[in-house]
Structure 1
Amino acid sequence: MNLLPMHQFTTSDGATLEYFDEGEGQPLVFIAGYRASAQTWLPQAEYYKDRYRVIGMERRFNGNTVSPTYNKTMARQGEDLHDLIESLQLKNPIVVGHSMGGSTVMAYLSLFGDAQLGAFVNVDQTPKMVNDDDWQTGMYKLTTANMGTFFDAPLDSPFYKDVTPEVMAIMKAVAAETNDNTYTLEMTKPLLLDHAWADWRGILQTVTVPTLFMAADHSPFWPSAHATESAKLVKNGRAAILTDVGHGMEYEDPEQFQAVLDQFLETLKG
């Protein structure tokens, strides 16, 4: 399996982060979730590179990034996205964030607003993971009472069914060719907790760019209703529920994922 060639940029706090950059046209930026390499977007890069400039940002604490170990916050992840956009001088990028990648975009929005973005696609990430009296579409069983110990054990598998053979080959190649195995749960737990404590609902109410919330009907992490509830918060928000897939929808059924994304991308053309 040949992985995509990676390039490097330097963030405002001195980290060296990687990204792939394929094709030409309006930027379509993909950001993977917790413990997932940017390379897992390879099927989407191949699919979209004839129509878009497809960029995959390797978040810090993934892949071969050289990162300061003291910035384990979602705010820093949002700043990293800003640094990528500035470094590559991207104009009106459509940003697609899966899971923690979605939170990365929401962290960016909290710091910089949406003036530089063309659109936002949030892939199966609830804006508030902690459940309480006014929000019941957070992470299953996660409350303020058990937050301190909830992430002590590894998370459940994000998949409802097997990933495609292509994605499995990519995952094996990433494991063999990067130092990604150094970013253990113990090492990244502060970032995971910061991610879990966040409440992005207020930020979403300020977003004006077209925004799609994608959810999975068999996600092991949260109910699919988070997408419809989130879409209500955004001026130009909409929701799509993918069927017969889990949290890793783009790995399990890339054709369905791409079809839904294609429908949204068509609405942006004017």
Structure 2
Amino acid sequence: MQAMFTKLLAAGLLLLGVVAGPAHAEAPKSQFAEVNGVRLHYLTTGKGDPVILLHGYTESSHMWLPLIDKLSKDHLVIAPDLRGFGQSGLPQGPYTKSVMAQDVHALATSLGIKSAKVVGHDIGLMVAYAYAAQYPQEVSKIALMDAFLPGVGNWKDVWLLRDLWHFHFYGETPLALVKGRERTYFEHFWNDFAADKTKSLSEADRKFYTNEYAQPGHMRAGFEVFRAFEQDAKDFAGYAKTPLTMPMLVLTGEKASGEFLIQQARLVDTNVEGVVVKNSGHWLMEEATAQVVPKLVDFLK
């Protein structure tokens, strides 16, 4: 009798809204748009102040799901797959970060977005910077997350040292070497670029991204972003001559780019906040979710 009364009371309270679980943000919708000569796939949800999230290499828009869940309560969130990645189109080129930023800007324009806050990780931070440099009046805030800016300061200290091989790993022979071994190739990044490989990407995510990149043409497109670095360096050196003024947040992993990206950022923007995330490597969203997501949400308010 007591058990039945308890169940009835609980049901009544739920109907009245007295006992209610925490509200969850609406799951992002998967959309497509033909812009700037390429078909872009993007995730979108929420309403309000627009935020654009730009993923990095070995990942796609999927990486942003934990952040999208928090941002969509107060923001219209747009997370595209960059050209050549995820479910987006695979043009022959170019894969300069300036052109990739033009893709994203064309997408934003098609959605009626006249001003946005932009966040980028890895290759995505290069696209984010190119976006802000080309359209400074349309970016109110920008966040860069762990990698480097080609053409800015002593950028070749990164480009020509530890990662020399993969920055020049493109063409027919590299494509033949990784065909059917995409997971082995990506494990280098997911494990060696992490502070602790056991706290890097989950097994589910590793399978998800491996499957995405193993699709025909995707590895070639990914390699092309590295082939474009020399042109990116020329473009960025030109952009840096006119420093940005909007607030810029730079998040880096202590065991990855550390102070280097923060120093570069201060060469291209006059209003920089730099944060080195302790005990984290390159994969900030995965290795330090509890620190990074709240920091980004607060900055983007």
Q: 1:40 to 1:164 in 2, by over 3 A?
A: farther
The answer for the alignment partner of 2:239 in structure 1 is: 203
Are 2:62 and 1:51 aligned? no
TM-superposition CA deviations, 1:211-261 (whole Å, max 9, x none):
112111111xx4433213422531222211111111111121211111322
Q: 1:171: how far off?
A: 4.6
Pick from 138, 145, 166: which aligns with 2:158?
Answer: 138
CA contact (8 A) 2:200 2:286 kept: no
1:127 aligns with 2:145: no
Q: Secondary structure at the match of 1:67?
A: coil
2:34 aligns with one of 2, 6, 10: 10
Aligned position for 1:241: 276
Distance 1:247 1:197 in 2: 24
Structure 2 CA distance for aligned equivalents of residues 160 and 47 of structure 1: 25
Unmatched 5+ stretches in structure 2? 1-26, 175-184
> Does the 8 Å CA contact 2:29/2:45 hold for their aligned counterparts?
no
Query: What is the alpha-carbon distance in structure 2 between the residues aligned to residue 162 and residue 59 of structure 1?
Result: 26
Once the two structures are TM-superposed, the CA of residue 185 in structure 1 deviates from its matched residue by 4.2
Match of 2:249 in 1: 212
Distance of 2:141 and 2:83 partners within structure 1: 23
Find the aligned partners of 2:111 and 2:99 in 1 and give their Cα distance: 18
1:45, distance to aligned residue in structure 2 (A): 0.9
Residue 66 of structure 1 aligns to a residue whose secondary structure is coil
Q: Distance in 1 between matches of 2:148 and 2:169?
A: 17
8 Å Cα contact 2:152/2:237 also seen in 1? no
Say if 2:246 and 2:271, in contact at 8 Å, map to a contact too: yes
- 1:151 equivalenced with 2:169 (yes/no): yes
Q: Does the CA contact (< 8 Å) of 1:208 and 1:235 recur in 2?
A: yes
RMSD value over aligned CA atoms? 3.1
Q: Give the TM-score, by structure 1 length.
A: 0.80
**8 Å contact from structure 1 (residues 218, 246) kept in 2:** yes
Structure 1 residue 10: deviation in Å?
A: 0.9
Distance 1:149 1:31 in 2: 20
Q: Deviations over 1:10-51 (max 9, x none)?
A: 1122x1111111111111111101231101111111122112
Q: Secondary structure at the match of 2:139?
A: coil
Cα displacement (A) at 1:113: 2.8
State which drifts further: 150-159 or 79-88: 150-159
Q: In structure 2, what is the equivalent of residue 67 of structure 1?
A: 90
- How many residues end up aligned between the 2 structures? 255
Spell out, residue by residue over 1:54-78, the C-alpha distance to the aligned partner (whole angstroms, 9 max, x if none).
Answer: 2111101111222322333323201
Give the C-alpha shift of residue 96 in structure 1: 0.3
Check the 8 A contact 1:228/1:238 in 2, yes or no: no
Matches for 1:152-171 after TM superposition, within 5 Å:
156-157=188-189, 158-162=193-197, 168-171=203-206
Work out the CA distance in 2 between the residues paired with 1:163 and 1:114.
39
Equivalent residue, structure 1, for 2:139: 117
Taking only the aligned residue pairs, the percentage that are identical comes to 19
Q: Rg larger in 1 or in 2?
A: 2
8 Å Cα contact 1:28-1:94 kept in structure 2: yes
1:262 aligns with 2:297: yes
Q: CA deviation at 1:179?
A: 6.5
Q: 1:67 to 1:128 in 2, by over 3 A?
A: closer
